[in-house]
Amino acid sequence: MAPAPITIDRLLNLAPEHPVDVLNHLSSHPELAGRQDAHGYSLVHAATSYNHAELLIKLVTDYSVDVNIRDEDGETPLFVAENVDIARTLVEQLGVDLNARNEDGQTAEEKMEADEEWPLVAAYLRETVSLGSRGGAASVVAQTGGAHDSAAAQAGTLNGATSNGVPHPPRIPAGISDVRIGTMEEPSADQGEPDPEFRRRIEELAASDDFQTEEGQQRLRELVQDAVSGLHHDQDRNVRQRQD
């Protein structure tokens, strides 16, 4: 019995769990690298969606597949990036178009935000666009209000820069309902100054040798959580005072 022919549909079925097999087949059938199925879905979309960085890079660099290839909804592979690492590969290494819009007029970041999916990827894309358009230092600012807002904002800024100077957004602590990406602003008069002790702890952590390690980043997240917890305590206290 003759083996089943190698088609784009077969390769797409292999992509989720057998990316190496896909590459092996492409060595004999390179013409399939840029093919799309009936819905415009491509191997570049699949490699991105399933976080197969090696397959993704080879498709674009070795087989010259357009990194901005679009499916039937006008969506590039960036729209199906489910974690920051694969999004960074598309943006920083392969040069995907951050401003590409789908048939609904949404960018990848806007669609993720509207669908409430992959918040860290959306935050990373928003930060990257901000850096590109403003040309200045940007920060992930936890919207907690008051002095703790400024302190948490410093923590976001100090979360170490990665390759090409693009910061990797920190894990969002529980209790933070919103994230704003933008340039650092001076606190207004009604916000007050950040807690000096909290500032000292952040600066001490940023200067430590293990700041870029997972342990250091965990300590940073705990500092931000402390800020949020402190704010909640202050709010509860103010409510009780108003009720007296």
Compute the half-sphere exposure of residue 161: CA atoms within 13 Å on the CB side of its CA.
9
One domain for residues 161 and 96 = no
Q: Which two tokens stand for residue 209?
A: 């040798």
116 occurs within a structural domain: no
Nearest to 156 by CA among 215, 224, 209: 224
Residues 152 and 86 in one domain: no
Residue 209: per-residue pLDDT: 73
The whole-number average pLDDT for the span 121-150 is 59
What per-residue confidence (pLDDT) applies to 9?
A: 97
Which has more confidence, 42 or 175? 42
* Number of domains, the chain: 2
Q: Which amino acid is at 11?
A: L
pLDDT one-digit tens code per residue, 166-186: 444 444 444 444 444 444 444
In this prediction, residues 104-132 reach a mean pLDDT of 94
123 domain-assigned:
no
